[in-house]
């Protein structure tokens, strides 16, 4: 089974959260609906602005760890490289 790395934002240039999951649609839904206690619910971080798929969950976990160590500027550059308008990508993954 593969894995997904994703970045959520509270809005364009807002608070960021990087995560990893085996089921991107389910996990993004949980964040959007406030079903996940903790950071994302507390700070209203619900907008899926970036994601990437990996062949294994281990590779996804390693990539997430790398991204979490990056500066905020690098994370923003990563988001903007694929989603310059900071569009919420959740509707795209649900179709």
Domains of the chain: 3-93 (3.40.1440.10)
β-strand partners of 21: 4
Residue 55 pLDDT exceeds 80: yes
Distance CA 88, CA 69 (A): 24
Residue 1 or residue 36, greater confidence: 36
Quickly list H helices, the chain. Answer: 24-32, 39-43, 57-69, 72-82, 90-93
Residue 9 pLDDT exceeds 80: yes
- Global pTM? 0.95
Average pLDDT rounded to a whole number, residues 6-31: 97
Residue 19 pLDDT exceeds 90: yes
Q: Using the Cα atoms of residue 1, residue 21, residue 18 and residue 8 in order, give the sign of their dihedral.
A: positive
Distance CA 9, CA 28 (A): 11
Identify the pLDDT of residue 42: 96
């Amino acid at each position: 089974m593969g894995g997904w790395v994703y970045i959520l934002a509270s809005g364009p240039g807002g608070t960021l959260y990087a995560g990893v999951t085996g089921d991107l649609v389910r996990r993004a839904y949980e964040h959007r609906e406030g079903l996940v206690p903790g950071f994302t619910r507390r700070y209203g971080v619900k907008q899926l602005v970036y994601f990437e798929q990996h062949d294994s969950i281990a590779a996804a976990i390693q990539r997430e760890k790398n991204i979490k160590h990056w500066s905020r500027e690098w994370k923003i550059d990563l988001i903007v490289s694929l989603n310059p308008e900071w569009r919420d990508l959740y509707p795209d993954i649900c179709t």
